[in-house]
Amino acid sequence: MSAPDVPQRGAATPDGPRPVALVTGAARRIGRVIALELAAAGYDIALHHRGADDRSLDDAEATARELRAAGVRVQLFPADFADPVATAALLPAVALALGRVDAVVNSASRFEYDSPERFDPALLTSLTRSNVAAPVELARALATQVRAQPAHARVTPCVVNLLDQKLHNPNPDYFSYTLTKAALAHATVLLAQALAPALRVCGVSPGITLVSGPMDEGEFAKAHKLTALGRSSTPEDIARAVRFLVESPAITGIDLAVDGGQHLVGQPRDVLFLVK
């Protein structure tokens, strides 16, 4: 069966033009599921991936085909967040191509292991560029964009930053990564204050959601149960939480833990090391 026609630029619904969401890191994993969830909520999707030379390109194209088959207007936008120029150009490029931008979900994140004993200032600087500076730049750019475009009849502009339950349940593993997520959590509150009433800024803190780092499937299955509820988050849980915040005009400046209560269980080390 052939895919339905893709709505053209500015395609309208009974409430006016469809809103547009930029989802970073949307080629795969949690970002992909968030893009699918927001598309189901009526958003057209600006699908960010790292770049043409990155293996995420094939995944990004596959996700775009899936969205288009559902009748969603979608366009791919490569940008390496290690490059400040590429980062600054991203949201204006989305607005030019799709006509407007109503939401940004900062899902893209770099996750690399270090500890205080193995601390490398160069790694912290690199992670900060991708995990903090890029989301802040995109929030600032969205605020500029929404002031210049007509208000949408049914959505309020919103940024959602993906944080981490580790902020509520700290341990020194993944030291530099955790520092960047702590900075982004504080930035979420400060941006919510500074950019209101033009837009809302919120956070979602996932628990252990997908296999990552050196963890294997068996270790993940064990780690996923180390929560108050006996199960941690799934990508679909995270996507539904993001959609809830995007669709909730009275909520801003909060961090929503979606982790099966993992943040309630004191853990002296990252769960990866608790299931070895």
Roughly how many angstroms between the first and final C-alpha of the chain, as a whole number? Answer: 47
Tens digits of per-residue pLDDT, 206-258? 998 888 777 788 887 888 888 899 999 999 999 999 999 999 999 999 999 99
Q: Which residue has the higher pLDDT, 68 or 9?
A: 68
- CA torsion sign for 266, 245, 46, 81 is negative
**What are the residue boundaries of the structural domains of the chain, listed by start?**
16-207+232-261
- Is 160 a residue whose pLDDT tops 80? yes
Mean of the per-residue pLDDT values of the chain: 90
**263 exposure class (CB count in 10 Å sphere: 0-12, 13-18, 19+):** buried
Q: How far apart are CA 64 and CA 70, in angstroms?
A: 10
Taking the C-alpha atoms of residue 172 and residue 270, their distance in angstroms, rounded to an integer, is: 8
The CATH code of the domain at 16-207+232-261 is 3.40.50.720
pTM: 0.91
Half-sphere exposure (Cβ direction) of 86: Cα atoms closer than 13 Å: 14
Q: How many CB atoms lie within 10 A of CB 4?
A: 11
Q: How many CA atoms lie within 13 A of 239 on its CB side?
A: 19
Per DSSP, 246 falls in state: H
Residue 112's φ and ψ, nearest 5 degrees, are -135, 145
| Residue 14: C-alpha distances to residues 30, 74, 98 (Å) | 30, 20, 18
d(CA 120, CA 113): 11
